[in-house]
Every structure is written in structure tokens, then in C-alpha cells.
Structure 1
Amino acid sequence: MNGDGLYDILVIGGGINGAGVARDAAGRGLSVALCEQNDFAGATSSASTKLIHGGLRYLEYYEFRLVAEALSEREHLLDIAPHIAWPLRFVMPHVAGLRPRWMIRLGLWLYDHIGGRITLPKSKALRLDRMERPSGLKQDITRGFAYSDAWVDDARLVILNLLSAQEHGAEIMPRTRLADARRVESQDGGDNHWLCTLENTGTGQRRELKARTLVNTAGPWVAQMDRRLNPDADGGRHAAVKLVRGSHIVVPRLFSGEHAYILQNDDKRIVFMIPYEDRFTLIGTTDVPQENMEHGARISAEEEAYLLRAANRYLERPIAAADIVWRYAGVRPLFDDESDNPSAVTRDYTLVLQDQRGLPCVSVYGGKITTYRRLAESVMDKLAPWTQSRARRAGWTASEALPGAGFKRADRARELGALQKKYARFDPHFLARLFSRHGLNSHAILREAQSPAELGRDFGGGLTQREVEYLALHEWAAEADDVLWRRTKCGLHMSEEQRAAFRDWFAQFGASRFCPSRMQQTQDA
């Protein structure tokens, strides 16, 4: 921000795309602010299938560029975030009457070769009845294929990008909505600028902010925000968004081993069964049109039945609705390419630039978690005519580790072992889960503690008062669910009574005790 309080970029929306843009721009030396009307990753970016993947099924829709880019990005993300992302082997059982074996082999061969430098094991054919551990599948399903992709904690990926952006000088504003924005032509020889009014959604307090450029990463609300910011663009014509809901269910662990399953369905879609949080299996996803975001995204009874039916087609021991311990849904804001099939709508991103009076706005339609970093670079390319004279560097985000990841991915086990050795009086499993959220920053949470009692109240599910304080003071956690379901997944490991007790504690002590000090830190900085 210059002496007149003028930012180079204001990013609207704190999901993965907004966080990636803020990080990239701030690291180039540009002045950046980001606002999010709710919690960070509070919508689509915490409701994914938790995968870094090229999208094997996208090959059927000839999305070769997207798949190649995603496979390349998979390598970068495994390098810069090895504490929250790691390789995952996928097994595809073969069922007669669906995709023929030759088609699967061809698709996997392309998947192994079109992404450039690939370090993960290549695909191969399998005998499922000769696996080291029981497959959990029906006995007549004996053949299949294996290939590689990767896992990621989606909500933590957002937070770590925001922390990195903040470390590079960005101002990060949670629970702050854009109340108004208009282009202003300076009358005194100064810079033309966007004049933006921001409102804290909790207190109602407002402030004005000036910016040279805007980036609209509002996710499911991107088209609505685009029309609001650029009402006169192209004679009133705007890009359209197609909202597609993806829903998931979580059940107790269904099979042994650390691999995941990718299941072909009779509607030509695929459904994943993925090991999740040690004791569970994540099953998803659906592709269902969503009309609007008025009531948010919620899984329907039909979607639950669809996922159960898809899994039971393969499982030796069927599961039922009573087995579901958690369910969630997110809405993908896909660029409307006029496809009638929700599964066929492109997952590629489209950037729409509106430049009026030399004051640009870039709106981001579509995209996927795997390609967020490259998407951010593309946004900066769009804005280059207005920003490159002040930028110090570019192309840096593929090599600089995210917070907590100052080690090579091959050294993950060694770093976890060092943490467990240093804190030998703690449960190794507790430390492993803490490390999978914070990496090397786990040391900043545990500090000099010599026993679990020194971490304060134990809320159950592996959540301690010490970590909650850290999340509130350093990661913008302001409500109980920010902690239970986004900064961590400890809520899944807790009983309903434990979750209720934590919510009561946080409401009474958490927000009032920690968040004001976090606000004061921001003001002092």
C-alpha cells in the first residue's frame, strides 16, 4: 500500500483461488488485501474430495490440457506442502459391462505420460484376489488396475496460502464483506482507483479501501459479484456460472490398507472410497445441479442413496444410511459451457477481464484445487499491464514451501520421528495427527510442554486448548466450527457431547479471549 492508502490488488473471496492469488501477488512485492465474508475455505474449498489429481476421467472429455497441467501441479504441491499432502495409490476394480480393459489401459498410459516430470509410481494391472490384505470387495471382483495420485487437506491448504500471503505483507480480513465498490477517476492528478467499502459481518463496522485492481474469486457467488462490479460490461452481457453440487459421506473404515478405490458406476461417473482420518472412509462425489446458494449446499437423500448404491455394488459387506457418521456438500462454480451433463461441464478455469477507465477487474470462473497455484499465475498474467512495473519477481510459488513445510517430501517420516522423539511423553498418534495439520509449526504449538496436561483442557478427539489458542491467535479461527471442521477435523473424532461442550467453552472463553488480541496484533503490525 502506498502513502495514499492505495493497494495494488484487492482480492474478494477467501477460498483456495483467492488465497493463491493473494500469496502470489504479495510475494511479487505488490500491496495486497483480501476480504472474505465468512470463514476462510468456508464453502467449496473445504468441501472437496481432498485430492490433488489430474482428473483421470477428464480424459474422456478430451480435457488434455487441464489434465497435463493438473499432473504437473500435483508435483509442485507435493513439494511445497508435504505435511498436508502426500501420495496416494488408487485401485480401480474392473467390472464387465462398463469401460473395457483396453480403454482403461490407454487412459492410464496417457495419465502416466502427459504431465511432464512424474515422480509417483506408474500404473499397472492388479489381481485383487492376491492383494497383501483383504480387498473388502466382492469375491467375484478379481482384476483391476492401480495408479497414483495424491491426497491433500483442502481447508488447511487455504489457510497456509493465506499465512504465506500475510508473511509477504498482505492484509487478510476474515468475516469482511465487500459492501460497495466503484471506479473513481481522480480529480486532483492522483491515481484512478477502485473505492471499496468493506464491512465486518460481525460488528457491522465499515472502512474504505482504495485499490488499483480487483480480483473476484467469490466462488459460487462469482457471477453475481461480476455483474455487481461491472454492470455495464459488454452491453450488460456477462459470463455465466453453472453451480454443480458435489456431496460426500463418511463411514467407519471399510477396508484395510492405505490405498483408495476409484469405482466405475453404471452412469459412467466414478465414485471414490478413500481412507480418511485413520478410522474412516470418505465416499464421494456426486454431480448435481444446484439452483442457487440461498440456503447453502446440503446433501440430499437421493445423493446419499446414490453414493451408498455405488459403493455397495463393489463391497463384500454392504453399508447403509445408519453407518454414515458425517456428510458434507460443496458447490463447484463452473464456467457455463452450455453442457447438459453436469459431469461433462469443464473443470478448467476461465478468467474474465473487465477493464473500464483503466481500472481492471478479473473474475475467476471454475478451477479446481489442484490447479489453484497455476490459476493464480494466470490471474497475475492478466493483470500484468497494471502491476508488472511494481512487481519484483514472478514464478516463485512453485518452489517456496508453505508454512510448516521447511523439509523435502522424502524427509516427512524423519521430521515426524524427530517430533515424536522430542515429545516422547505424548501419544505418537496424537503427534502424527498434529504434524499432518501443522508440520514443523507443531513445535510452536507444543513449545516446552513435557506432558499432555501442560496443553490445557483436553476437548477429546485429539483437540487441546493449546492448539485452539494457536488457531485463534494465528489462523483466524473465530467460531467453534472453524476449529472442529476446517482448521482440524477433530470434530469427526469427538462425540456429540464433546462437540457441544467445546462449542459452549469456545463461545464463553474462546472468541472473547483470543480474537480481540488477534485483531490488536493485526493493528499493531
Structure 2
Amino acid sequence: MSAETDLFVIGGGINGTGIARDAAGRGLSVRLAEQGDLAGATSSASTKLFHGGLRYLEFLELRLVRESLREREVLLRAMPHISWPMRFVLPLDPKMRFAGKTPVSRLLSVAMPWARGHRPNLVIRAGLFLYDHLGAREILPGTSSLDLRNTPEGAPLQDRLTRAYEYSDAWVDDARLVVLNARDAAARGADIMVGAKVTEARREGEGWTVRLADGRSFRAKVLVNAAGPWVGQVIRDVAHLPSTESVRLVRGSHIVTRKLFDHPKSYFLQGQDGRIVFAIPYENDFTLIGTTDMDHKGPPGDAVCTPEEVDYLCRFVSGYFKQPVTSADVVRTFSGVRPLYDDGASSATAATRDYVLSLDDKGAACLHVFGGKITTYRRLAEAALAKLSSHLPGATGAWTAGAPLPGGDFPVDGAGALADALRRDHPFLTPGWANRLVRAYGTEAAAVLSGARTAADLGRDFGATLTESELRWMIEREWARDAESVLWRRSKLGLRLTPEQAAAVEDYIASERAAA
């Protein structure tokens, strides 16, 4: 059995890796165990946004929205390679309704009975005013009005839509965010174990004994249950702890279609059922559409985007775009299960997106992490360490707010200059290739290229600019274990590789792991 660590984290999603990074940076000894791949479940199946959650204002979740809005710019500065500002176009449609009986809709039913459950434009503008001013906004521009007639933003939309509001949020590569948090945690001394399923955790003496499926055992002073949608299973079946708290599993599904419009802005679309759906430029040649909100039954790992959800999303956006979107346009689907704290809400849409940290300190401390948004992961980690402070007296203070993730040590608007410099040093790079490397690796892109003078110096070409040099970087530094982890999480090149090329990636990784 290895020496006792301060913290043992179960779960390699954004909350688990965020907590591990924060703790390691405070001088604590940390181990993290992930049963599959980093970001292998919920954390790679988000809508890929750093956002305040405009629709959460209808549920009066002001604390969550305020914290999220303030975090957007903190995070943009820390990771300008994998996150960048994005403008959202919100077309105004008088048919749009509230998402059920929200606190705001109840108030308006008294103040504006003529609205009859609809979202009046005045209410939308008031919400956007709050959205602009709840957070300390410095980088992102505020809301503006937009005439959709004869504009690029209006061109793909139906002619009946003539007015819109435009506001700011930010894009993020969710899976790379997780990997970079894990890398930074490891650089600060954390032991990151991937493909390491925890089968048992027991209080023994003044700490925890944690056993893995492969027979290894570890000791830790404090246990953190950040298992995402498996958080309840860890409480019941792994740690065997009594608890009255429960998790509500809500499935969010997305579709990726052919490119639906030719400008870099996204659409925030309101449905007649009260829900909202985003249509977002994705990987240059595609459009990402989502998400759904449905209570999920069964194992979290079984979540898939159902044919009914595909049809729903296609119908939803077809109500806005001139050219109808059908299942024939869909090139990929993905689905994740959000582990929301069960607050008794009447619907999946209404369930709180705020995080809940539950500390069980009847003996050695165990912290259970419920819910959370990708935008607030850093603040969640700070709150987790604050909650555990009396059990970890050797920890130093909070530090992550001003610390860039690996490769993120350049200005928010500096990605273009970084790509230009990369091409000057490596003339064989095409503009698209250089931009992709910068957006994945930032200032570390040059190290990925290993000083290559020609493309041939990068080794085998697997297609779509994926080379042996980059693949080895992912295997050796980013815990890549198979083709799926490379093509759909550490990159999105699965959208571009043929099945034969993907099989070649799988074979290469298998041979490298066998030789290790």
C-alpha cells in the first residue's frame, strides 16, 4: 500500500480534476482515480459554453448566474487557446413561451395577464440587462439590438424574423478543459490514475482505505466523491454511507449537422414549449445543436441521443431556419447525463443547475459533489477546499483565479498571432492546421511539433493533420488510451477521419501501450 495522501478524488470529470488541481496547488498530496477516460462522460457532452445561463434568470437563480458571469472572464484569461468570446443572436418571436410555471412567469401572470405565459420582448430585454450587469464584465461586449433584414445573421433565418438581440458568452472545448486541469494537477504533484475503477472505500482509523478493481489499495485522510452521475452509486455501493440526499439524472442530447450558416455567431432559439436550444458554429464545417432536458432512467453510461430527441432538435431549429433541418443532415449525436441535486423540481428543465457540496464528517471526512456547471467548476473547487479546510490544515490559500492552464499563457486575443508565429517557424503548416494546433495546445503547440522542419519529420500521417508526433503527445502527456479518447475528446478529428484511418489510430495506440 502506498503512503497516505491528503486527498483521494473519485472521478475524472471537470469537478474532480478541478478539485485535484486546486488541492495540489495548495501543497496537498492528491490522488485521483477515473474509472474510464478523463472527461469520458458528462464533461465531454456539454453544449461547450462558458455562460451565465440566461434562462436560469426565469428561475431566479441569481447567485448561480452572478457567479457564472463573473467566472466567464476569469476563465477566458486562463485558457485563451481552448476558450474564446462568442456572440449570440436571440431572434424575437412573439410565439415564444416560458418554460412552465417559473417564478418569473408567475409574477408576470399577475402583472401582465395579457401575456398568457408568453415571453414579452420587454421581459427578454430586462433579462439581458441583468445578464450584462450582474457580473463584472470587462472583456465581453454588452447586449445590442439587431435588425435581421439584409444581414448575415438574418440570412439563414425565416423572413418573419426581423429583429433580434445580440449578447455575449464564450465557447470552450470541454474535454480539453478537463485534460488540461489534470495535466496541471499532475505537474503540481497529483497522481492521476486513468482506467482505475474504485470498488471500495472504507473508513479505517482516522482516514480512508480505497481499493481499485486491479487490486491496488491506497490510504487518504479525506475522500472526495466527484463521480458525476455515479455520485449516488459511490455513496451507496462503494463507500456504503447512509444518506438522505439523492441525485437527479437529467439527459442532455446534442446533434452535429452540416454547416447551417456562414458567420461566426451562434443562435439562442426559443421554443413554443418554453425550452431553448443553441445552434453553434462547430469545428469550422459543422453546426452543434442542443440541448434536450429529459429525466434519465438506467445506468448513466447508457445515455444516447434517441431518435425522438434527434427529431425534436431538428423540428425545433427548422422553426427558425429557412432550410429545414432533417435527420439526413445529422453527422453525429452525443448525449450526457447531468448529475443534478434532487431539489424536488417538477421537471428536468426546472431542476437546479447549482452545485451542492455535502460533507459527511462522522469520522474521516468525505465530500460529495452534486451538480454544477462547467462554467463554475473553478469556484466549485475553491468551495470544496474551503469546506474541507478544517480537515486539511496544511493547505495554503486559494490561487487558481490568476493561473493559466497549460498552454494558456498568452493574451485573450492572441491566438491569431500565435498561429502566425507557428507557421513562420514551421512553413509546412497550412493556416487551418496551425489554427487547430493553437486552439488545442496554445503556447505548447511548438513542443507538439517537436522542432519539425518538414511534415515528414512529424512521423506517420493518420489524416486530417493528425500526425504521429501529436498522437504520441496525447498518449504520453494526456492519458489517451484508445482512438475514441483521441478522436472525440482530446480532439474532434473523428468528424474528419475515415473508419479506416480511425482504425489505424486505434492500432497505433494499442501497439504503443503494449510496448510501454
1:385 aligns with 2:390: yes
The percentage of counterpart residues that share the same residue type is: 48
Cα distance in 1 between the residues matched to 2:416 and 2:268: 27
The question of 1:102 aligning with 2:122 is answered yes
**In the TM superposition, what is the alpha-carbon distance from 1:4 to its structure 2 partner?**
7.7
Q: Does 1:261 align with 2:267?
A: yes
Match of 1:35 among 33, 36, 41: 33
2:231 aligned partner: 222
1:407 to 397, 406, 410: 410
Q: Which residue of 1 aligns with 2:78?
A: 80
- The residue aligned with 2:365 is 360
Q: State yes or no: 1:444 paired with 2:450.
A: no
Aligned partner of 2:389: which letter? A
**2:224 is matched by which residue type in structure 1?**
V
Q: How big is each residue's C-alpha offset from its partner over 1:2-61, in whole Å with a ceiling of 9 and x where there is no partner? A: x98110000000000000000000000000000000001000000000000000000000
Provide the C-alpha distance between the structure 2 equivalents of 1:176 and 1:161, rounded to a whole number of angstroms.
Answer: 18
> 2:193 matched to 1:193?
no
TM-score by length of 1: 0.92
Q: 1:163 aligns with which of 183, 195, 207?
A: 183
Paired residue type of 2:334: Y
Unaligned runs of 5+ in 2: 97-118
Residue aligning to 1:322: 328
After TM superposition, the runs of 4+ consecutive aligned structure 1 residues lying more than 6 A away are none
Q: Which amino acid aligns with 1:46?
A: S
8 Å Cα contact 1:135-1:256 kept in structure 2: no
Pairwise CA distance, 1:179: 1.9
Say whether residues 1:208 and 2:217 are aligned partners: yes
Q: Distance in 1 between matches of 2:289 and 2:28?
A: 41
Report the residue type matching 1:221 in the other structure.
W
Structure 2 vs 1, CA of residues 4 and 481 (structure 1 numbering), >3 Å: closer, same or farther? Answer: closer
- 1:82-113 per-position Cα deviation (integer Å, ceiling 9, x unaligned): 00000000001111222211011000000000
Contact 2:42 2:228 in 1 (8 A): yes
2:513 pairs with one of 492, 511, 514? 511
Paired residue for 2:115? none
What root-mean-square deviation, in Å, do the aligned CA atoms of Structure 1 and Structure 2 show?
1.5
The equivalent residue for 1:180 is 200
Contact 1:227–1:238 (Cα < 8 Å) also in 2: no
- Aligned equivalent of 1:51, options 49, 52, 59: 49
Does structure 2 conserve the Cα–Cα contact (< 8 Å) formed by 1:17 and 1:375?
yes
Q: Which piece of structure 1 moves more, 74-83 or 92-101?
A: 92-101
Indicate the residue corresponding to 1:278 in structure 2: 284
* Residue in structure 2 matched with residue 90 of structure 1 by the alignment: 88
Q: CA deviation at 1:454?
A: 1.6
- Describe how 1:60-71 pairs up with structure 2 within 5 A: 60-71=58-69
* Secondary structure in structure 2 of the residue aligned to 1:19: helix
CA distance 1:4–1:257, change in 2 (3 Å): closer
SS at match of 1:410: coil
- 1:294 Cα deviation after fit: 5.9
What secondary structure is seen at the aligned counterpart in 1 of 2:502?
helix
Distance 1:132 1:194 in 2: 59
Partner AA of 1:217 in structure 2: A
Q: Secondary structure at the match of 2:197?
A: strand
Q: Contact conserved, 1:134 with 1:255, CA < 8 A, in 2?
A: no
> Separation in 2 of the partners of 1:7 and 1:369?
27
Give 1:413 deviation, angstroms.
2.2
Residue 17 of structure 1 is aligned with which of 15, 30, 33?
Answer: 15
Q: Is this contact kept in 2: 1:72–1:118, CA < 8 A?
A: no
Q: Which residue matches 2:349? A: 343
Change (3 A) 1:132 1:323: closer
Counterpart residue number, 1:455: 458
TM-score by length of 2: 0.93
Distance 1:44 1:399 in 2: 26
Which of 277, 281, 295 is the aligned partner of 1:289?
A: 295
Trace 1:291-306 onto structure 2 (pairs within 5 A).
Answer: 291-293=297-299, 296-306=302-312
Distance 2:2 2:337 in 1: 39
Provide the secondary structure at the position in 1 that maps to 2:39: coil
1:92, 1:262 within 8 Å by CA — same for their partners in 2? yes
Q: Is the 8 A contact 1:12 1:216 kept in 2?
A: yes
Are the aligned partners of 1:134 and 1:256 in contact in 2 as well (CA < 8 Å)?
Answer: no
Q: Which residue of 1 aligns with 2:168?
A: 148
**Correspondence for 1:520:** none
Contact 2:418–2:438 (Cα < 8 Å) also in 1: no
State whether structure 2 residue 314 is matched by structure 1 residue 308.
Answer: yes
Conserved 8 A contact 1:35-1:177: yes
Secondary structure in 1 matching 2:6: strand
**Is the contact between residue 461 and residue 492 of structure 1 (CA under 8 Å) also seen in structure 2?**
no
C-alpha offsets along residues 100-140 of structure 1, whole Å, 9 cap, x if unaligned?
A: 11011000000000012442010011111132466311122
Name the counterpart of 2:253. 247
For residue 395 of structure 1, give the secondary structure of its aligned residue in structure 2. coil
